[in-house]
Amino acid sequence: MLKIWGRKTASNVQALMWCVGELGLSYERFDVGHRYGGTDSPDFLAMNPNGTLPVLQDGDHPPLWETGCILRYLASKYADDGFWPADLLARTEVDRWAEWSKLNVAMPFTVPVFWAVVRTPRQQRDHTAIQSAVTALEKKLAIADGRLSGQPFLVGNHFTLADIQFGHVLYRYFDIDIERAHLPALADYYERLKSRAAYREHVMVSYDELRATG
């Protein structure tokens, strides 16, 4: 059984848990981080000296950290060929879009947009900076929108690891209080993700505990 350390409201943990859910793997998850604390404890730092989430342990193997690494490990060990292809070129295409999603979508959304809107008190929000960050993000989302206008998933006709890295931020993107660009193929793609049971369980999670007061 997998052991996973990380609170369910952490974006990176959600990506991992969505993957675990899609693969139908048994797990035990421990709440750590944010209001739960624990990431600076000696036991946790012995598993991950960075003190970051998530951490995964598969049986007697050493703990793994860094979300992308964990996702690739799970895909390599447990997924079928459609999710994580055995063919090197096909797998590299999935990996390329997974990496693109992390660097060009997840990271530019999480702190500059989500934290700035949800985790910052209203009176302290820099609305000009937020709008600038949204505009920059949506230039990248427009690339995905173009791809998704001709195919159901980010890398073609099959749901892959790239969709995990890309799609896990879309619940918050479409839910938070911002003005969004008209990206119809992206919106349709999000509706398809919402039809997946693992997405609803592990990604469409209330983030109220993260909201700033005031």
Instruction: Flag whether 61 is in a domain.
Output: yes
Report if pTM > 0.75. yes
Instruction: Flag whether 162 is in a domain.
Output: yes
pLDDT in tens, 39-58: 999 999 999 999 999 999 99
Q: How confident is the model at residue 88 (pLDDT cuts 50, 70, 90)?
A: very high
Please tell me what DSSP assigns to residue 130.
H
For residues 179 and 152, membership in a common domain is answered with yes
Instruction: Flag whether 211 is in a domain.
Output: no
Tokens at 157, concatenated:
């006709």
How far, in Å, CA of 90 to CA of 96, rounded? 10
Phi first, then psi: what are they for 111, rounded to 5°?
-85, -50
For residues 163 and 135, membership in a common domain is answered with yes
Q: Is the pLDDT of residue 159 over 90?
A: yes
The range of the structural domain enclosing residue 182 comes to 88-200
CATH number (domain holding residue 165): 1.20.1050.10
Q: Contact, 25 vs 78, CB < 8 A?
A: yes
Q: Is the pLDDT of residue 126 over 90?
A: yes
Instruction: Flag whether 214 is in a domain.
Output: no
Q: How confident is the model at residue 213 (pLDDT cuts 50, 70, 90)?
A: confident
For residues 17 and 104, membership in a common domain is answered with no
Q: How confident is the model at residue 26 (pLDDT cuts 50, 70, 90)?
A: very high
Q: Is the pLDDT of residue 214 over 70?
A: no
How far, in Å, CA of 198 to CA of 209, rounded? 21
Per DSSP, the three-state class of 4 is strand
